[in-house]
Amino acid sequence: MIKQELLDVLACPKCKLPVRESKDEKYIVCDACRLLYEIREGIPVMLIDEAKQVEDTGGY
Amino acid sequence: MSFDSSAANYLNSSDHRTGSDLEFLAERFAEVRFGRMLDVACAAGHFANAVPADIKIVTDLSLNMLKKADEAFGLSLGAVSAAEFLPFQNDSFNFVGCRIAMHHFRNPCMFMGEVFRIMKQDGIFVLIDSVVDADDGHLNRIELLRDETHKKSHTVENIIAMAECERLEAKEAVILHKRHDFSEWANRLNPSTELFAEIEKAFFDLPAEYKQRYRVETENGRIKAYTDKKGLFIFQKP
């Protein structure tokens, strides 16, 4: 689980809007861009080029 | 060996773990404690560790560096990020720092624009990086030979101009000389024997004026050390 102190300020590097952690704690989710940023070994990988584009972030 | 796989070398590097820049900052901010700070391109975390702050967040392009920073200094609030696309909300930080890294960035202006965006009003940005004289292409060439991720060391004037373009106010600029043990410096990224020899030859081939400028030291026919300049800049978001 990503610590709250980090989530408080974390944003999507593309749109700069706040993000959230996915229900399964595998991704940081940007609902606005519909991008999933993978969490690797407990560390969010906030790279636009490596983010996964999805149709709908509702399930995450 | 890449930057990512040489995390331990950076943790133990005398160029990174000590330095008059860290001593200068410790003195300069002795009476201050920042609320939330960010160290951009933190490597093994020496800079973030040295800054007094309640919440310390670190970023680096390398996952292994972030793991090393956590292991060494307990810097557990980390995110993999490019300096030009910082993954943080506007007006989030009281202090942003970046030490000995900007010469690797593709777009320093974009980085500084991002620093402005994520800092709170009156926030402090401390930038420490190698600086060169206006007529000096030699050191950038040697740095690139040693490390293919090297982009460019800038002049003091360029750095201040880039920051001011992004609306950051320059408050202080200090030049510090940093002596590098050649063998440790050249071996940090574990070069081949051939590349090490090429880097050493590049120092031997420097014009006399530049050998003097970099205070190149030799011993038994080998390069022993050289000295470059680090600029320490303090900017503020008005």
Residues above pLDDT 90, as percent of chain B: 78
Residue B204 has pLDDT above 80, yes or no: yes
pLDDT higher than 60, residue B17:
no
A37-52: average pLDDT: 98
**Mean pLDDT, residues B195-210 taken together:** 94
Residue whose pair of structure tokens reads 């490019």 in the numeric block: B82
Q: Which helix (H) or strand (E) holds A5?
A: helix A4-7
Question: Whole-number mean pLDDT of chain B?
Answer: 91
Of the given ranges (B1-5, B54-58, B105-109, B139-143), which has the lowest mean pLDDT? Answer: B1-5
Asked if residue B9 has pLDDT above 60, the reply is no
Report ipTM (2 d.p.). Answer: 0.98
Reply yes or no on whether the pLDDT at B216 is more than 70.
yes
Instruction: Return the domain boundaries, chain B.
Output: 4-179+229-236
Nearest to A13 among B55, B77, B86 (CB): B86
Mutate which: B57, B70, B86, B89, vs A, most A CBs within 10 A: B89
Tell me the shortest Cα–Cα distance from B43 to chain A, in angstroms.
15
Give B-chain residues touching A15 at CB under 8 angstroms.
none
Is the pLDDT at B12 greater than 90? The verdict is: no
What is the model's pLDDT at position B11? 54
Q: Which residues of chain A lie closer than 8 angstroms to B76, CB-CB?
A: 3
Full DSSP string of chain B: --SGGGHHHHHH-HHHH--HHHHHHHHHTTT--EEEEEETT-TTSHHHHHS-EEEEEEEES-HHHHHHHHHHH---EEEE--TTS--B-TT-EEEEEEES-GGG-S-HHHHHHHHHHHEEEEEEEEEEEEE--TT--HHHHHHHHH-TT---PBPHHHHHHHHHHTTPEEEEEEEEEEEEEHHHHHHTT---HHHHHHHHHHHHTS-HHHHHHTT-EEETTEEEEEEEEEEEEEEE--
Confidence of residue B222 (pLDDT cuts 50, 70, 90): very high
Residue B18: pLDDT over 80? no
Q: How confident is the model at residue A48 (pLDDT cuts 50, 70, 90)?
A: very high
Q: pLDDT value at position B20?
A: 81
Q: Residue B189: what pLDDT?
A: 84
Mind telling me how many Å the CA of A53 is from chain B's nearest CA? Answer: 17
> Which of A3, A9, A41 lies at the smallest CB-CB distance from B89?
A9
**How does pLDDT run across A4-29, given as a tens digit for each residue?**
999 999 999 999 999 999 999 999 99
The model's pLDDT over B160-186, given as tens digits with 9 standing for 90+, comes to: 999 999 999 999 999 999 899 999 999
pLDDT confidence of residue B149: 87
Least confident residue range of A11-20, B7-16, B100-109, B196-205: B7-16
The yes-or-no verdict on residue B33 having pLDDT over 60 is yes
Quick one: pLDDT at residue B28?
87
CATH of domain B4-179+229-236: 3.40.50.150
Residue B137 has pLDDT above 90, yes or no: no
Residues of B with CB under 8 A from a CB of A: 36, 55, 57, 59, 63, 66-67, 76-82, 85-90, 92-93, 117
In this predicted structure, the answer to whether residue B13 has a pLDDT above a threshold of 60 is no
Interval B80-105 mean pLDDT: 97
Nearest-CA distance from A37 to chain B in Å? 10
Q: How far is A45 from chain B (nearest CA, A)?
A: 5
